[in-house]
């Protein structure tokens, strides 16, 4: 079994390094790197298309539990986390609550009903759309001067949690632009997004474990849809890479880094679409 999993382990080590740096640097959970990395490596190893995209997404979202926890801790040390957005005393306007509900329902009910091919295409199209925002979005765009309350957390949070769970990402690609367009400084938005990533990853991981419990075609050592080899290797490597990403986020221009990453995402997205349609 070790020989069979060795190529996967080698690939996910590199994936873990990249995802960890991105998690700390851009406030994203790294799923945009982990999902394609797991998907391509599992397909090379000969696993069926119906299982590998679900496993890739579930494993990615489980790693975000670690990435998000490490990232938010380091950002919090720099005073760059707005806890009133993550855990408001009034639960109805707590973004983390509604984000978690959307993530759990999607991972438990919606994602398992999609075929592997359909889910791969949906992931790729959404990732390509996100990349356009990363490339062309401007941090000085302003919608309002504060984060919206009222029904916005319930509607927007549920949607962000659901889409992020479906893609295996930490939601930073959505939450960072939302917060900056509502007047929050970019570094504080990145730190807060790391915390909101936990609200996505924890319930989504639980949902994917339950929904994939008895599914055939999964790689060895999988707990539901979550592959434990991918989780432990990527999480371990990411743990040491996240602090580097946090350090870089406070030293480099995040807007330039987002554009470079956006271009890479477009290339990867089209590669996944091509493979899914083959």
Least confident span in 115-124, 148-157, 250-259: 250-259
pLDDT digits (tens, 9 = 90+) for 224-261: 999 998 898 888 887 788 778 777 777 767 667 677 77
Mean pLDDT of 133-159: 75
pLDDT digits (tens, 9 = 90+) for 155-169: 988 999 998 898 888
Say what the pLDDT of residue 254 is: 64
pLDDT digits (tens, 9 = 90+) for 205-226: 999 999 999 888 888 888 999 9
Mean pLDDT, rounded, of the chain: 81
Say what the pLDDT of residue 220 is: 82
Residue 1 predicted with pLDDT over 60: no
**Sequence-distant contacts of 132-136: CB under 8 A, at least 24 apart:** 132/262, 132/266, 133/173, 133/177, 133/262, 134/173, 134/258, 134/259, 134/261, 134/262, 134/265, 135/258, 135/259, 135/262, 135/263
Contact, 77 vs 134, CB < 8 A? no
Q: What are phi and psi of 253, to 5 degrees?
A: -85, 110
Global pTM value: 0.81
Say what the pLDDT of residue 140 is: 61
What SS3 state is found at 47? coil
Angle at 271 between CA 245 and CA 277, to 5 degrees: 140
Contact, 194 vs 172, CB < 8 A? yes
Mean pLDDT of 84-95: 81
CA dist 92 and 256 (Å) reads 36
pLDDT digits (tens, 9 = 90+) for 124-135: 888 787 777 767
Cα dihedral 196, 34, 16, 158, rounded to 10, equals: 10
pLDDT digits (tens, 9 = 90+) for 12-46: 788 778 777 776 676 565 677 788 878 877 887 77
* 243: CB partners within 8 A, 6+ apart: 24, 70, 74
């Amino acid at each position: 079994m070790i020989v069979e999993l060795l190529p996967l382990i080698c690939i996910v080590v590199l994936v873990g390094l990249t995802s960890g740096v991105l998690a700390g640097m851009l406030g994203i959970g790294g799923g945009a790197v982990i999902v394609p990395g797991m998907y391509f490596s599992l397909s090379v190893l000969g696993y069926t298309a119906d299982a590998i995209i679900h496993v890739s997404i579930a494993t990615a979202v489980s790693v975000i539990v670690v990435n998000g926890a490490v990232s938010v801790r380091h950002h919090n040390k720099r005073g760059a986390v707005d806890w009133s957005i993550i855990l408001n005393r009034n639960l109805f306007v707590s973004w983390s609550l509604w984000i978690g509900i959307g993530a759990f329902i999607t991972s438990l009910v919606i994602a398992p009903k999609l075929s592997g091919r359909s889910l791969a295409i949906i992931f790729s199209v959404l990732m390509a759309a996100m990349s356009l925002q990363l490339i062309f979005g401007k941090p000085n765009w302003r919608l309002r001067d504060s984060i919206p309350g009222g029904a916005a957390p319930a509607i927007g949070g549920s949607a962000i949690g659901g889409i992020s769970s479906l893609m295996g990402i930490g939601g930073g690609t959505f939450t960072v632009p939302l917060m900056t367009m509502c007047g929050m400084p970019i570094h504080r938005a990145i730190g807060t997004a790391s915390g909101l990533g936990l609200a996505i990853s924890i319930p989504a991981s639980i949902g994917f474990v339950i929904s994939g419990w008895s599914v055939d075609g999964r790689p060895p050592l999988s707990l539901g849809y979550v592959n434990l080899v991918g989780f432990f290797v990527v999480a371990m490597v990411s743990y040491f890479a996240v602090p580097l990403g946090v350090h870089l986020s406070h030293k480099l221009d995040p807007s330039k880094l987002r554009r470079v990453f956006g271009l890479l995402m477009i290339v990867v997205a089209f590669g996944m679409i091509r493979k899914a349609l083959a």
